[in-house]
Chain A
Amino acid sequence: MNPNTAWLRKTVALVILIGVWEACADLGYFDPLYMPAPSKVAVALFQLFAQGTIWPHLIATFSAALGGLVVGLVVGTVLGAVAALTPLVGELLAPVMISLNAVPRVVLAPLFVIWFGIGVGSKVALAFILVAVLIFFTVFTGIRDVDRRLVERVITLGGGRGALLREVYGPSVIAWILGNLKVAVGFAFTGAVVGEFVAATKGLGYLLSFAQSSYNAALMLALVVLIMGFVLLLFGLTGLLERRLLRWRG
């Protein structure tokens, strides 16, 4: 198969799938209450934008996800680096992070609502904890597993701790973080949406909760498509950044 036409094959497969779904819905094979036709989902999606009701929700979810992503990246990187470079801190911090990693961290959502209220704070906190733990382990193992030959190379060229951080550990860790950035973006949105789902007054998670309580499957699917679209868009941007900053990797 020609790899250059993979996108065409995927598009055709998607169109066929939607076509079959639409036909099944029109012929009455699917109950519209549970599985509305794609055209109905498209109409629901269009109305969200045409009426302008979606914007405050989109802004709320994006703010929470990006806030959690940025803070999680910074805190995860700093903690991971300190733990990897300072044995005592590593010894104390690693078990905490391992414990946090062992449980599905979204279970913390109700606790964050109690701590930070139903505003944006609890959503940022959940997105943050999801991202920070991931990035902590990325940086921690990235520094621990750094290529010893490169470290010795810089030492034999006269480089000290500063040069090692700048020339070896820094670029090595950036490469690891960029490699995991797509996962982090996904985690940030998961945190924001789940947080809104638990308790909120706006956001895509709140809208999902509203659609569920009003048995509006078309709106729910429209929101799922919308979230998927935005996350894919962010994945694309992350991929561009990765290719640009890691062009040395080819």
Chain B
Amino acid sequence: MLRVDSLALAYGATPVLEGASLEVPSGKFVSLVGPSGSGKSSLLRAVIGLQQPLAGVIETDIGAGDIGMLFQDDALLPWRTAEQNVALGLKLKGVAAGTAIASARQWITRLGLYGLSERFPRELSGGQRKRVALAQVLAREPQLILMDEPFASLDAIVRARVTQDLVRLVELRGISVLLVTHDLEEALALSDVVYLLSHGPRARISGRYEVNLPRPRDVIKARSHPDFAPLLQRLWNDLSREVGERAA
């Protein structure tokens, strides 16, 4: 479980977040949506320890080694092959080199990259690189994954496939997820809970939405569920109000 309470963040003298609170219960998929610049990515960076909060509490019963992070950019080491990139995550967790490589190969195959183990990142497509980055995180068997719009740069078909694979694995292994996204439909299709962040500066959580769609979930079919459209409408209206109030 991850609990963020009254979190305040700033970039230099510019306040970004103020009093932001949310919870990611064990095994739940939680999304955070909000206007651009509201501090969504900063919140994730604070949780993983890349940014120091000004105030507030970040509590979790999960060890640092069991939290994975997927960035907007795949950020794979260009001088390492796909297999070495995946194995690196394991080696840094203390797994022996031989075991790490064997496990990396299994994860690469599991994520549909069979035969691409020896390729360098530049020799892979955008979707394949995302899968390698996902394999790198999943191979470590994390209990919580933080995702900062990891699939934003992918085309619609590849994005649907990669997210479906992710949801399948997350559901199967009971992994908790905190996803930051601009895409409201994606947030609802994937999540159990969606938080709405108000417009910055001094952004705060302005809404919480329970998504009671059945699991295991098909990320495409979920969008045609009768509960989906009303929820999307509500979320859209609230986000529009946030942006509108700011513009006014």
B136: which A residues are within 8 A, CB to CB?
157
A156, B69: Cβ atoms under 8 Å? yes
- Find A156's partner among B48, B73, B80, B123 (CB 8 Å cutoff): B48
Q: Which segment of B85-93, B157-165, B231-239 sits at the interface?
A: B85-93
Binary interface encoding of chain A residues 160-180 relative to chain B, with 1 for a CB under 8 A from any of its CBs, else 0 = 000100011001000100000
- Using A156-B48, A157-B88 as known contacts, say yes or no to A149 and B75 having CB atoms under 8 A apart: yes
Cβ–Cβ contact B71 & A153, under 8 A = yes
Alpha-carbon distance between A153 and B50 when the two chains are bound, in angstroms: 10
Q: How distant is the Cα of A153 from the Cα of B74 in the complex, in angstroms? A: 9
Rounded to whole angstroms, the CA-CA distance of A156 and B46 in the bound complex is 12
CB of A159 within 8 A of chain B? yes
A158-B65, A250-B122 known; A153-B92 Cβ under 8 A: no
**A149 adjacent to B122 (CB under 8 Å):** no
A248–B89 touching, CB < 8 Å: no
Instruction: Kindly state whether residue A150 has any CB partner on chain B within 8 Å.
Output: yes
Question: Is A152 part of the binding interface, using a Cβ–Cβ cutoff of 8 Å?
Answer: yes
B65 nearest in chain A by CB position: A158
Q: Are A152 and B64 in contact (CB under 8 A)?
A: no
Binding site for A on B (CB under 8 A): 48-50, 64-65, 68-69, 71, 73, 75-80, 88-89, 92-93, 120-123, 136, 140
Query: Which of B64, B79, B136, B140 neighbours the largest number of chain A CB atoms within 10 Å of its CB?
Result: B79
Q: What distance in Å separates the Cβ of A174 from its nearest Cβ neighbour in chain B? A: 8
B77 partner, pick from A150, A158, A247, A250, beta carbons under 8 A: A150
> Which of A155, A157, A168 contacts B89 (CB under 8 A)?
A157
State whether B92 touches A159 (Cβ < 8 A). yes
A227 interface residue per 8 A CB criterion = no
Q: Is A106 an interface residue (CB 8 A)?
A: no
Known contacts: A248-B120, A249-B122. The answer to whether A154 contacts B73 by CB under 8 A is no
Q: Which residues of B contact A152 (CB under 8 A)?
A: 50, 71, 75
Which of A149, A158, A247, A248 lies in contact with B92, CB distance below 8 A?
A158
Assess whether A163 is in contact with B71, with CB atoms less than 8 Å apart.
Answer: no
Residues of A within 8 A of B49 (CB): 155
What is the distance, in angstroms, from B64's C-beta to the closest C-beta of chain A? 7
Residues of A within 8 A of B120 (CB): 247-248, 250
Complex CA distance for A25 and B80, rounded to whole angstroms = 57
